[in-house]
Amino acid sequence: MTAQTAIPPGIDLLEEINRLRKEKNAVILAHYYQTPDLQDLADFVGDSLELSRKAAETDADVIAFCGVKFMAETAKILSPDKIVVLPDMEAGCSLEDSCPPEKFKAFREAHPDHLALTYINCSTEVKALSDIIVTSSSAETILQQIPKDQKIIFGPDRHLGGYLSRKFNREMLLWPGVCIVHEAFSEKELLKLKAQHPGAPVAAHPECPPTIIDHADYVGSTSGILNFAKSFDGDTLIVATEPHIIHQMEKALPEKNFIGAPGADGNCSCNICPYMALNTMEKLYLCLRDLEPRIEIEESLRLAAKKSLDKMLEMASGTVGKGDLGDR
Ligand code: 13P
Ligand code: SF4
């Protein structure tokens, strides 16, 4: 039986989700790249760092994670006694796919004097092989606490690593992974859009390639971009990240104009994250009802991965989710 046919006909999905979350004492966490219906019903919407913190501190029995698998796994690593469900277990990430644990292990072993600073967009196995995890909102704070003479390998996002390396004039060996969503923005189309909206600032996620970052007035995490949107002067902002975040901007500032940066085809449809898009209201209803699919992690692997995540939470403790990569 497919997920769709398992849903009783004629039910009100929102009503059922609300009933189930009470009945199961569930908290619904959602990332900004989820569709507006999921963002609007979530108990909390945030960037990767904020969602990790929420997962670590919740007293709910169930965490229903509207995001991608590495985010739900992070929730399980930090809250092992909770049931963690993900509406669609196929919701992966191109950065995670780019970094198979056995290859990452070999990379580490080839550089024994390097510290492994690793972006949270990776598998639990890669977290277990890393020294410190970072998110886009905590990377700068954490990097600044690492002694200047400490050699670093950074994976799996070469654009975030490259951005940090340029900004802090710090050499790092970069794993060659990219986010397929941010990689799809077109510099040529962005310049055309800027010409059509003279003076409109550009806010970009650090997963963007340098060809896009070079035109940005602000670079930061999803929460950072949202905060920039709430504070910039002017009436139009060009947003170079996954376009579903624009929902929050339009809710907060309905009088302003938020435009998604274009892909090579001149619109932003190629910048919708295909993994995040797998989660739907129907699948959220089913996972709350059946408490499946569940994230399960073998205990010794979980404990190994928790070390690098705990290090992140400790080193980022002063960081609020305001995208402290800051202005360029
Ligand atoms: P944030 O931590 O900025 O929310 O980024 C998560 C992500 O996957 C961006 O593509
Ligand atoms: Fe991964 Fe990119 Fe999707 Fe973020 S937007 S989850 S980095 S594929």
Per residue in 130-157, pLDDT tens?
999 999 999 999 999 999 999 999 999 9
Closest listed ligand to the CA of 69: 2
Q: Verify that 83 and 111 share a domain, yes or no.
A: no
Q: Verify that 169 and 312 share a domain, yes or no.
A: yes
Q: Verify that 196 and 245 share a domain, yes or no.
A: yes
**Last residue of a domain, which of 231, 260, 289?**
260
Phi, psi of 143 (to 5 degrees): -60, -40
Cα-based angle 153, 155, 160 (whole degrees, multiple of 5): 105
135 lines ligand 1 (CB under 6 A): yes
**Last residue of a domain, which of 260, 288, 312?**
260
Q: Verify that 151 and 187 share a domain, yes or no.
A: no
**Contacts for 56 with CB less than 8 Å, ≥ 6 apart:** 78, 79, 313
> Which residue minimizes the CA distance to atom 3 of ligand 2?
273
271 belongs to a structural domain: no
Q: Verify that 138 and 201 share a domain, yes or no.
A: no
Q: Verify that 60 and 46 share a domain, yes or no.
A: yes
Q: Which domain covers residue 212, as residue numbers? A: 182-260
68 belongs to a structural domain: yes
> Which residue minimizes the CA distance to atom 4 of ligand 1?
47
Q: What is the pLDDT of residue 323?
A: 36
For the residues 16-42, what does the mean pLDDT come to?
98
Q: Verify that 98 and 83 share a domain, yes or no.
A: no
List the CATH number of the domain containing 197: 3.40.50.10800
267 belongs to a structural domain: no
95 lines ligand 2 (CB under 6 A): yes
d(CA 99, CA 128): 13
247 belongs to a structural domain: yes
Q: Is the per-residue pLDDT at 264 higher than 90?
A: no
183: tokens are 């990689």
Amino acid at 35: T
Query: Range with the lowest mean pLDDT among 30-34, 53-57, 319-323?
Result: 319-323
269 belongs to a structural domain: no
pLDDT digits (tens, 9 = 90+) for 143-196: 999 999 999 999 999 999 999 999 999 999 999 999 999 999 999 999 999 999
* Residue among 136, 141, 170, 168 nearest 153 (CA): 170
Q: Is the per-residue pLDDT at 328 higher than 70?
A: no
179 lines ligand 1 (CB under 6 A): yes
pTM: 0.94
**Contacts for 53 with CB less than 8 Å, ≥ 6 apart:** 313
- How many CB atoms lie under 10 A from the CB of residue 99? 25
272 belongs to a structural domain: no
Cα-based angle 88, 55, 38 (whole degrees, multiple of 5): 45
Total residue count of the chain as it appears in this document: 328
On average, the pLDDT of the chain sits at 94
Q: Verify that 146 and 165 share a domain, yes or no.
A: yes
pLDDT digits (tens, 9 = 90+) for 277-302: 999 999 999 999 999 999 999 999 99
Q: Verify that 15 and 66 share a domain, yes or no.
A: yes
With cut-offs at 50, 70 and 90, classify the pLDDT of residue 5: low
Rg for the chain, CA atoms, rounded? 20
69 belongs to a structural domain: yes
Q: What is the pLDDT of residue 327?
A: 36
Would you give the end-to-end CA distance of the chain in angstroms? 52
For the residues 220-239, what does the mean pLDDT come to?
97
266 belongs to a structural domain: no
Domain count, the chain: 3
Concatenated DSSP letters of 89-102 = TT---HHHHT--HH
- Using the atom order of ligand 2, give the atom closest to the CA of residue 68: 6
Cis amide bond preceding 147, omega within 30 = no
Q: Verify that 100 and 61 share a domain, yes or no.
A: no
Q: Verify that 82 and 119 share a domain, yes or no.
A: no
Element containing residue 315 per DSSP (H, E): helix 299-315
For the residues 68-87, what does the mean pLDDT come to?
97
Q: Verify that 79 and 102 share a domain, yes or no.
A: no
- 294, 179, 3, 41 alpha-carbon torsion, rounded to 10°: 80
For the residues 194-217, what does the mean pLDDT come to?
98
> Which residue minimizes the CA distance to atom 2 of ligand 2?
179
- Using the atom order of ligand 2, give the atom closest to the CA of residue 157: 7
* Residue among 226, 242, 220, 249 nearest 323 (CA): 220
